[in-house]
Amino acid sequence: MDSSKLRVGPGVDPDSSAFASPFDHLLHAYVPKDHEIAARQAVYNAAALAALAALCAGAFFASSILEPFLLPILWAVLTGFLLHPHKAAVSLSAKRWLERAAEADRPLLLHCAVSGVSGAVALCDALGSYLMGLWRTLLAVAAVAVALLFMVGPKKIIRLVWFISSYCQEITLHTQNAGCERLVQHSFSLSPAMR
């Protein structure tokens, strides 16, 4: 190769053909000099669109092959993300319970019975502490109920409760009967060929 073509400096033309690619030769041969940038961008855009089309075609064929497996995979991901913390908490509590059962020197059936009673006690303790946190609200409700009882009288309160409960019962019966009537009307409206 000629060494004058490889020199870069003040005497060398920057548009020298030594640094040009085959694409530049093709571009100079068929495209005028003032359209060179637009033609280069058009070729780059066409190459990018061809690559995107190939990628989309590959994704389509991969999804058509994996289609029978997508639903189980999505369910596995969904349950894995949503249920994993709850499963971990349940398994940790079960592990602790089994460790306590192993440390207690009594039969498993007796430990289950004692655990049920101690669980009920713990539930009552939690409920009691929750209600003790709401003692002001409960006290206000009780005070209003007692004041209402003395102001209105017990007979009117009993009548009011009786009226509300009977009204709710009538609404429930009416909706049930309306549903049955629609079912009966539908069964009688069938064509003779359907009977």
Q: What is the pLDDT of residues 57-95, one digit of tens each?
A: 999 999 899 888 988 888 888 888 888 888 899 999 889
Residue 68 lies in a domain: yes
Residue 95 lies in a domain: yes
Residue 84, Cβ density class (10 Å: 0-12 exposed, 13-18 middle, ≥19 buried): exposed
d(CA 40, CA 20): 14
Residue 170 lies in a domain: no
Domain of residue 62 covers 18-124
Is the pLDDT confidence value at 7 over 50? no
The two three-digit tokens of residue 69, written as one number: 């497996």
Number of domains in the chain: 1
Residue 1 lies in a domain: no
The better pLDDT of the pair 26, 172 is held by 172
The two three-digit tokens of residue 44, written as one number: 């780059």
Read off the pLDDT of residues 45-63 as tens digits, 9 standing for 90 and up: 999 999 999 999 999 999 8
pLDDT-based confidence at 18, cuts 50/70/90? low
pLDDT-based confidence at 9, cuts 50/70/90? very low
Residue 92 lies in a domain: yes
d(CA 139, CA 96): 39
Q: By the 8 A CB rule, do 60 and 52 touch?
A: no
Residue 9 lies in a domain: no
Residue 51 lies in a domain: yes
Residue 167 lies in a domain: no
Q: By the 8 A CB rule, do 149 and 161 touch?
A: no
The pLDDT assigned to 54 comes to 97
Most confident of the ranges 21-30, 120-129, 149-158, 175-184: 120-129
Whole-angstrom CA distances from 139 to 94, 144, 178 are 39, 9, 43
